[in-house]
């Protein structure tokens, strides 16, 4: 059986960060899914998050994960960081206006929550994946010189490269 990943984007239905995280943990326990909320402003593309999530799931299945929690491992890869402390920049904060909600099932071991259940966490806004490039440049430490050399249209490739290299900094 394969891993399955679903992505949702929108505004948090629960304004308080701690309450949102608590509701996400509750949803995980009730459905057996992996659920991770990220700051959508820092998610450059669907490809970025799908790649990071696959790498995190693979790390767990091969027992080479760094984080103890699959959701945190997803955040670690999504941030391109090896250190969990630095990876937290990708997560939801009190300043987060939009979230990217990652739902994943390891080897099909998940009952997917329905739309009503998910609407308690997220209000879809129809914007999909629409990052803020300044936030992405800051989180991924992309310099103006680096962008000038490859072109701004290649920012996704720079982010994917950092995700891919997250394992190499041991």
What is the full per-residue pLDDT of the chain (170 aa) written as tens digits?
578 899 999 999 999 999 999 999 999 999 999 999 999 999 999 999 999 999 999 999 999 999 999 999 999 999 999 888 989 999 999 889 999 999 998 777 788 999 999 999 999 999 999 999 999 999 999 998 998 899 889 999 999 999 999 887 54
Compute the distance between CA of residue 116 and CA of residue 98 in angstroms, rounded to an integer: 19
Residue 87 has which token pair? 């990876």
Q: Where are the alpha helices (DSSP H) in 62-132?
A: 70-79, 84-87, 115-119
Compute the distance between CA of residue 39 and CA of residue 96 in angstroms, rounded to an integer: 6
In which residue are the tokens 């300044």 written?
134
Compute the distance between CA of residue 122 and CA of residue 142 in angstroms, rounded to an integer: 30
Question: What fold does the segment set 4-165 form as a domain?
Answer: PF0523-like (3.30.2380)
Domain ranges across the chain: 4-165
Phi and psi torsions of 99, nearest 5°: -120, 150
Cross-strand partners of 100: 9, 38
Report the chain's terminal Cα–Cα distance, integer Å. 31
């Amino acid at each position: 059986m394969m891993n399955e990943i679903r992505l949702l984007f929108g505004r948090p239905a629960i304004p308080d960060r701690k309450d949102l995280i608590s509701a996400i943990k509750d949803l995980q326990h009730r459905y057996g899914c992996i659920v991770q909320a990220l700051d959508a402003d820092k998610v450059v593309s669907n490809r970025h998050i799908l790649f990071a999530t696959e790498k995190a799931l693979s790390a767990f299945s091969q027992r080479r994960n760094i984080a103890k929690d699959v959701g945190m491992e997803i955040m670690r890869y999504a941030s391109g960081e090896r250190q969990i402390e630095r990876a937290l920049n990708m997560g939801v904060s009190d300043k987060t206006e939009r979230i990217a909600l990652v739902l994943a099932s390891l080897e099909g071991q998940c009952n997917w929550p329905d739309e009503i259940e998910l609407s308690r966490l997220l209000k879809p806004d129809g914007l999909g994946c629409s990052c803020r490039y300044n936030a992405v440049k800051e989180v991924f430490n992309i310099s103006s010189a680096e962008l000038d050399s490859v072109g701004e249209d290649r920012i996704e490739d720079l982010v994917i490269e950092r995700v891919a290299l997250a394992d190499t900094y041991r």
